[in-house]
Amino acid sequence: MKRDDRQQAIMDLLVAEGEVELDSLAERFAVSKMTIHRDLDELESEGLLRKIRGGATIQSGTRFESDFRFRERQGATEKTAMAHAALALIEPGMTVMINDGSLAAILGKACTAKRPLTVITNNGAVIDALKAEAGITLLALGGLYSSKFNAYLGKVTEDALSRLRADIAFISTPAVSGTKVYHMDDDVLRSKRAMMDQAQTTCLLVNHARFGKAALHQLADLTEFDHIITDATPASEAKAALDAAGITLTITKSHETHT
């Protein structure tokens, strides 16, 4: 198997399993451990995975988020359920901000059900999905394009947002620890923060497995969001912290609101 094909196969395994072991990869592809080490080094240098002891992962770390191309292939059912719950907060005629991320991309595509709408976004997948849709006024935010996040980021993005207002902003995150919301990339964080500051109502979209996780930069406190949507009840320790703070979650798995 050629190197590029082997590396693609490694990424496919990571998408399916989240984590891989070096020994099992060497055995699977009938190559030396050193060859697998080099493969993992190259993929890590491209920002596609994070090396750990004895293998690699695409699970988020304090300074790592996997590539958009791989995140969009994970958890489609859960993301779709959360997107539909978020869609219920949108009324025709609203101005809606949608941030970067694979979950946000699903929400953006679903917005056609609520037209006419004005959609403000830096999310490349949302821009692609809505640019030809009748009844959608699309304000595509410029900036420095990041293929890792499939989004436009930086000062140009933030300056544009500072001159706009929206009825509601949908913000996603890879990490919530206690009542604090985090992200590992400062440029991404600033665009999310700018959307929050310019919206009348804010909604956080977060997978239940992301509770109890931290990242390098703090974005906000959960109390700053008017709505928090997740796909299932967080683990007991994380849920206890939310209960102690009186934080309300909308949990799509049971279609109920829990406090």
pLDDT digit string (tens) for 35-51? Answer: 998 988 888 777 777 78
Residue 251: DSSP 8-state = E
Neighbours of 15 (CB within 10 A): 16
Whether residue 131 contacts residue 155, with contact meaning beta carbons closer than 8 Å, is answered with no
pLDDT at 259 over 80: no
pLDDT at 65: 54
pLDDT at 257: 45
Closest CA to 239 of 258, 216, 219, 220: 258
pLDDT at 91: 97
Angle at 181 between CA 158 and CA 177, to 5 degrees: 160
Neighbours of 192 (CB within 10 A): 27
pLDDT at 154 over 80: yes
pLDDT at 143 over 60: yes
Average pLDDT, the chain: 87
Question: How many helices (H) does the chain have, and how many strands (E)?
Answer: 10, 16
Q: Which residues of 152-178 are buried (b: 16+ CB within 10 A; e: fewer)?
A: bbbeebbebbeebebbbbbbbbbbbbb
Cα of first residue to Cα of last residue in the chain, in angstroms, is 52
Angle at 79 between CA 49 and CA 126, to 5 degrees: 85
pLDDT digit string (tens) for 158-196? Answer: 999 999 999 999 999 988 999 999 988 899 999 999 999
Closest CA to 8 of 52, 34, 42, 33: 42
pLDDT at 239 over 60: yes
List the structure tokens of 29: 């592809």
Whether residue 143 contacts residue 153, with contact meaning beta carbons closer than 8 Å, is answered with yes
Please state, in angstroms and rounded to a whole number, the distance separating the CA atoms of residues 251 and 257.
6
Please state, in angstroms and rounded to a whole number, the distance separating the CA atoms of residues 143 and 150.
12
pLDDT at 99 over 90: yes
pLDDT digit string (tens) for 116-136? Answer: 999 999 999 999 999 999 999
pLDDT at 106 over 50: yes
pLDDT at 165: 98
Amino acid at 57: T
